[in-house]
Structure 1
């Protein structure tokens, strides 16, 4: 592993290695890493897209509220797997009618959940999601111990 590459440690010493090459733009201020290496032998889980519905299925019309709730829902799914946020290798986020004003909300929520152990991430702008009032969805790939 290159010198200075941070890792996230799990109880069984499985480590995700975060790679942000020096010759590429540093994505960490925007809430993601360029690449994440999952060690051989680790089991993987794939979490379906989590939207901003509360426990009753209600969706706020506010983008920031939906993003916050979607990350809370993602955290619940991670917890149900017996995992932690530092075991998430990859996120894919889908944003309805994406524009630059939404990046601050997205970055804040990712950093709140993942701290310094930022997963690889892709943002996909979309015209709509499965349910019309849905404005945001996040799916994850998680390394299990």
Structure 2
């Protein structure tokens, strides 16, 4: 299925749109919180958000994976806000998970669906043995289309 997702505030044909592509002859990735592909229109400017870990604004980092994921997405939202962007403008996520397993995937999938709803970006999950600092268990980076 291919669907255009409007990102403008008004229903105007000139609004920039990301086009989400989930081909019917491929596995449907939406239950897992991502889309197969996302097309950015030619007029779209891109911003790249560096990896956001689970540190709060004081630098504190919980040892709990779910808490780190929640804080990472709050940090991503703060970065989007600073760009004047919204979650539905995110075209691509790359997430890094220390010692990945299915229970961590469930936590991540819930967080992604909560933040992005039905406008699921393309996404790649990279299992890693460790991240930049020892207590980090999760990190998310994003490619965002700016209006």
Fold equivalence (TM over 0.5): yes
CA distance in 2 between partners of 1:79 and 1:24 (Å): 34
Counterpart in the other structure of 2:46: 44
Instruction: Compute the displacement of 1:42 (Å).
Output: 0.8
Counterpart in the other structure of 1:105: 107
Q: Deviations over 1:24-81 (max 9, x none)?
A: 0000000000000000021000000000000100000000000000000000000100
Gaps of 5+ in 2: 9-13
CA distance in 2 between partners of 1:30 and 1:10 (Å): 22
Q: TM-score, normalised by structure 1?
A: 0.96
Deviates further, 6-15 or 98-107: 6-15
CA distance in 2 between partners of 1:132 and 1:7 (Å): 41
CA distance in 2 between partners of 1:7 and 1:117 (Å): 10
CA distance in 2 between partners of 1:10 and 1:118 (Å): 13
What does 1:1-145 align with in structure 2 at a 5 Å threshold? 5-11=2-8, 13-145=15-147
CA distance in 2 between partners of 1:15 and 1:41 (Å): 10
Count of residue pairs the alignment pairs up: 142
Output the aligned Cα RMSD: 0.8
Instruction: Compute the displacement of 1:21 (Å).
Output: 0.3
Q: TM-score, normalised by structure 2?
A: 0.94
Gaps of 5+ in 1: none
Instruction: Compute the displacement of 1:10 (Å).
Output: 2.2
Instruction: Compute the displacement of 1:8 (Å).
Output: 1.8
